[in-house]
Amino acid sequence: GTKPVSPTNPARHIPWPARPCAGPGETCQVSDFLQPKSFLKTCRGASSDPGEGDRRVVFLFQRIYYLSLEFYMGRTLQNTMINLGLQNACDEAIYQLGLDMEELEEIEEDAGLGNGGLGRLAACFLDSMATLGLAAYGYGIRYEYGIFNQKIRDGWQVEEADDWLRHGNPWEKARPEYMLPVHFYGRVEHTAAGAKWVDTQVVLALPYDTPVPGYMNNTVNTMRLWSARAPNDFNLRDFNVGDYIQAVLDRNLAENISRVLYPNDNVSRDGGVDVLGVFQAACSAWMGIAVAIQLNDTHPAMAIPELMRIFVDIEKLPWNKAWDITKRTFAYTNHTVLPEALERWPVDLVEKLLPRHLQIIYEINQRHLDHIASLFPNDVDRLRRMSLIEEGGTKRINMAHLCIVGSHAVNGVAKIHSEIVKTQVFKDFAALEPEKFQNKTNGITPRRWLLLCNPGLAELIAEKIGEDYVRDLSQLTKLHEFVDDDLFIREVAKVKQENKAKFALYLEKEYKVKINPSSMFDVHVKRIHEYKRQLMNCLHIVTMYNRIRRDPAKLFVPRTVIIGGKAAPGYHMAKMIIKLINTVAQVVNNDPVVGSKLKVIFLENYRVSLAEKVIPATDLSEQISTAGTEASGTGNMKFMLNGALTIGTMDGANVEMAEEAGEENLFIFGMRVEDVTELDREGYNAQEYYDRLPELKQAIDQIKSGFFSPNEPDLFKDVVNMLFHHDRFKVFADYEAYVKCQEKVSELYLNSKAWTKMVIRNIAAAGKFSSDRTIKEYARDIWHVEPSDLKIPPPNE
């Protein structure tokens, strides 16, 4: 084979394969891409205390594993050049060859191994963990097909397979030497020597490593993604002996495990597909020398019983010792409180697929319930509420309960969300162990979400406050000094205008749509979901349209409303919302009375590389979820950092953005969580708002009567019916406040200077939302490790 070369510094590279750790006191070569300096630094202070009964599993080194079913990485080329400090040199070299770097970068496929915020968070965390010099690994699944490509045909979403590996993947390296067997099915024998899981079917897990370079610190971490392979004797060993061809064809059954990313965002995958989480968990628990395993939601929750199985059945640790280590190792991040997104796996399924794990879960549950019963005697209802197993109807495992019980820390992803987790959704658990519950407000990496996507703004900032802010984003507060600096204000406005012009050109080239670059770019991009309320935005569009038509001579601040996002293929209402937006757009965009005042664009196939284009070009960021439903949001932070103003509800991290920038520097409107709770208590009646608000009535009547879809007048009857009779997200209740708030937005936009000053105040306040800050908090409060934060210059300087 070819000799592998380190992406940073071949001279300092550790030869492959790294020698496995042998025992306490041994010098150990850790990861394949990890540089020795950062490794030694993070290993200092590591504990090596092989407790009673510990044999092979010894906690030697501070290795952190971030377990996630999604890593939404996007493209890698430009990010690699930036983090290695090679971008200018590469640009120059490519130019000398008569090529254009940007054109080259456009050729790379997105690694779309994620749905939205949760997967992108994992990707931002990898960047920050490497930048902070933590010996941290991302562990996940190497899907052969990532998130589908979205096509819009006649206004409808059509899904296309994302064959992202078609031309190969230059960033990964298969590591067959680390292949592992993963067991499924079979049965459990209880012997004098303990439980034995026998007659299993084996699937092989083949890891692929991708380097994760830190920003200018001579450190490279590893993302290890696992691919399912059928063993050569699959379906041949015990049966089907006669049918060789069929046995080869059946290899697909095993390999389907890592075939395709499940395209549901904020929805629990249905039973039967969770083989995936099991597969990853099994691959991951064999890491052996973790000090911390962070679970990105409950998707990889089976890692908990799997680690217990390894300790108890294989390493023969006593249960209590095994449980103590397991709890100290795992930590769980909750990402949503929407009931449809909380995972509940059917017991029947787990019993067939993983009989030993189910027994272990039962044992965990028994001890957990015994403990509660001892604290709260005769409180049967509490036992029922807190059980890991839900009875009544299909018996199910409550995966969040398993994660809470099996972890030493549970965190939400923004202050308001963590509060809801602690005081509402899991309040019984918080009553039991209040100190377990934490908050870790999400963040984004400023390397990709500023340096990479908005070099104009990044440079302008560096001119004013130096370049250190890239590693310490809190330094952005220094920009407050320049809020009244007329030259700086003009320069910030100019960069935005340039970004808008560039994006307009892109739309014209790729989609043949012409937009007015001096109009306000009002952008709502994220997964399409009822709770994110793209419908409310749509009602605002219709309202603006009606106002223009009612009085065409009246001053109207021109807007280009851009909405983008994918709907889960099985989510009917989300797909209808896309169709509605496109249908309204068709009418609005072709009405001569409207002209260039209002344009509506549905941005096809929203993904990481498209986010990098549209966010720097945005004036107004739409973050309008029903209060209490968006756990954090990270799109909101990207926009803030890139000089957009936010119109939003007091939900998720919007609350903290308002806290940082001052509420007067955001366009906050609508119900707060308390108001929503109160309205629920009274009973939400959509009809009331419809009867009271003539513009809402007009918009709804138009949608209902086929004004926008004359050939199919009934097209949106499901949507309208939902809005009146079962709108869990109360669109009508916030409509009036939203429209009024949008009027204020338009008014401010007329005053370019005042607008830009508010933009500067927002950028100056965005420092908190660096994922470096988030990761430092995880390191300090959950993982108990010291980031080394190396500042070694790259070798070529």
Ligand X SMILES: *Cc1c(COP(=O)(O)O)cnc(C)c1O
Active site residues: 335, 526-527, 532, 634, 638
Stretch of 58-66, 101-109, 586-594, 603-611 contacting ligand X, by CB under 6 A: 603-611
Stretch of 408-416, 535-543, 606-614, 766-774 contacting ligand X, by CB under 6 A: 606-614
**Least distance CB 248 / ligand X (angstroms):** 38
Q: Which is nearer to ligand X, 120 or 730 (CB)?
A: 120
Is residue 133 within the footprint of ligand X (CB under 6 A)?
Answer: no
Place of tokens 């039967």: 272
**Least distance CB 112 / ligand X (angstroms):** 9
**Least distance CB 655 / ligand X (angstroms):** 14
Q: Which is nearer to ligand X, 361 or 568 (CB)?
A: 568
Is residue 446 within the footprint of ligand X (CB under 6 A)?
Answer: no
Q: Which string of DSSP letters, residue by residue, matches 617-638?
A: G-SEEEE-PPTTS-S--SHHHH
Separation of alpha carbons 655 and 632, rounded Å? 9
Categorise residue 93: left if φ over 0, alpha if ψ from -120 to 50, beta otherwise: alpha
Supply 154's token pair: 């006649």
**Least distance CB 258 / ligand X (angstroms):** 22
Q: Which residues contact 51 (CB under 8 A, 6 or more apart)?
A: 321
Q: Which of 635, 643, 767, 787 binds ligand X (CB under 6 A)?
A: 635
**Least distance CB 609 / ligand X (angstroms):** 8
User: Comparing C-alpha atoms, which of 453, 478, 481 is closest to residue 643?
Assistant: 453
Can you tell me whether residue 564 is helix, strand or coil?
strand
Q: Which residues contact 509 (CB under 8 A, 6 or more apart)?
A: none
Separation of alpha carbons 644 and 522, rounded Å? 9
Is residue 608 within the footprint of ligand X (CB under 6 A)?
Answer: yes
Is residue 85 within the footprint of ligand X (CB under 6 A)?
Answer: no
Q: Which is nearer to ligand X, 224 or 638 (CB)?
A: 638
Supply 652's token pair: 């998720």
Q: Which is nearer to ligand X, 113 or 182 (CB)?
A: 113
Q: Which is nearer to ligand X, 138 or 633 (CB)?
A: 633
Beta carbons of 289 and 61 less than 8 angstroms apart: yes
β-bridge partners, 564: 525, 603
**Least distance CB 414 / ligand X (angstroms):** 11
Separation of alpha carbons 432 and 568, rounded Å? 37
Separation of alpha carbons 765 and 641, rounded Å? 9
Separation of alpha carbons 450 and 457, rounded Å? 8
Is residue 214 within the footprint of ligand X (CB under 6 A)?
Answer: no
Stretch of 97-105, 133-141, 583-591, 601-609 contacting ligand X, by CB under 6 A: 601-609
**Least distance CB 417 / ligand X (angstroms):** 12
Is residue 186 within the footprint of ligand X (CB under 6 A)?
Answer: no
Q: Which is nearer to ligand X, 562 or 699 (CB)?
A: 562
Residue 155 has φ and ψ, to the nearest 5°, of: 85, -10
Is residue 633 within the footprint of ligand X (CB under 6 A)?
Answer: yes
Stretch of 34-42, 168-176, 602-610, 723-731 contacting ligand X, by CB under 6 A: 602-610
Is residue 625 within the footprint of ligand X (CB under 6 A)?
Answer: no
Q: Which is nearer to ligand X, 60 or 523 (CB)?
A: 523
Stretch of 326-334, 367-375, 533-541, 632-640 contacting ligand X, by CB under 6 A: 632-640
- HEC letters along 457-488: HHHHHHHHHCCHHHCCHHHHHHHHHHCCCHHH
Beta carbons of 538 and 561 less than 8 angstroms apart: no
Q: Which of 458, 495, 611, 655 binds ligand X (CB under 6 A)?
A: 611
**Least distance CB 698 / ligand X (angstroms):** 30
Stretch of 353-361, 605-613, 658-666, 761-769 contacting ligand X, by CB under 6 A: 605-613
Q: Which is nearer to ligand X, 290 or 611 (CB)?
A: 611
Interface residues for ligand X in 692-721 (CB under 6 A)?
Answer: none
Q: Which is nearer to ligand X, 8 or 445 (CB)?
A: 445
β-bridge partners, 494: none
Q: How deeply is 737 buried, as exposed, middle or buried, from its count of CB atoms within 10 A (0-12, 13-18, 19+)?
A: middle
Separation of alpha carbons 519 and 589, rounded Å? 14
CA-to-CA separations, 50 to 38, 53, 54, 491, 700, in angstroms, rounded: 25, 8, 6, 60, 68
Contact pattern for ligand X over residues 520 through 539, marking x by CB under 6 A:
------x-------------
Beta carbons of 203 and 276 less than 8 angstroms apart: no
Question: What sign has the CA pseudo-torsion 311, 313, 318, 320?
Answer: positive
Contact pattern for ligand X over residues 638 through 657, marking x by CB under 6 A:
x-------------------
Q: Which ranges of 344-444 does DSSP label H, i.e. alpha helix? A: 347-353, 355-375, 380-386, 399-405, 415-420, 427-432
**Least distance CB 178 / ligand X (angstroms):** 31
Stretch of 23-31, 355-363, 385-393, 607-615 contacting ligand X, by CB under 6 A: 607-615
**Least distance CB 657 / ligand X (angstroms):** 12
**Least distance CB 120 / ligand X (angstroms):** 4
Beta carbons of 770 and 443 less than 8 angstroms apart: yes
Separation of alpha carbons 235 and 226, rounded Å? 22
Q: Which is nearer to ligand X, 398 or 634 (CB)?
A: 634
- HEC letters along 701-765: HHHHHCCCCCCCCCCCHHHHHHHHHCCCCCHHHHHHHHHHHHHHHHHHHHCHHHHHHHHHHHHHC
Stretch of 411-419, 481-489, 633-641, 757-765 contacting ligand X, by CB under 6 A: 633-641
What single DSSP character describes residue 451? I
Stretch of 168-176, 272-280, 571-579, 634-642 contacting ligand X, by CB under 6 A: 634-642
Is residue 607 within the footprint of ligand X (CB under 6 A)?
Answer: yes
Is residue 263 within the footprint of ligand X (CB under 6 A)?
Answer: no
Q: Which ranges of 590-683 does DSSP label H, i.e. alpha helix? A: 608-614, 635-641, 654-661, 673-682
Q: Which is nearer to ligand X, 60 or 453 (CB)?
A: 453
Is residue 443 within the footprint of ligand X (CB under 6 A)?
Answer: no
Separation of alpha carbons 279 and 276, rounded Å? 5
Separation of alpha carbons 468 and 287, rounded Å? 36
Interface residues for ligand X in 327-346 (CB under 6 A)?
Answer: none
Beta carbons of 213 and 84 less than 8 angstroms apart: yes
Is residue 120 within the footprint of ligand X (CB under 6 A)?
Answer: yes
Query: How many chain residues touch ligand X (CB under 6 A)?
Result: 12
Is residue 564 within the footprint of ligand X (CB under 6 A)?
Answer: no
Can you tell me whether residue 575 is helix, strand or coil?
helix
Interface residues for ligand X in 97-116 (CB under 6 A)?
Answer: 116
**Least distance CB 441 / ligand X (angstroms):** 13
**Least distance CB 469 / ligand X (angstroms):** 21
Is residue 634 within the footprint of ligand X (CB under 6 A)?
Answer: yes
Q: Which is nearer to ligand X, 41 or 120 (CB)?
A: 120
Q: Which residue number is nearest to ligand X in terms of Cβ?
A: 635
Separation of alpha carbons 84 and 76, rounded Å? 12
User: Under the rule (CB under 6 A), what is the footprint of ligand X?
Assistant: 116-117, 120, 526, 606-608, 611, 633-635, 638
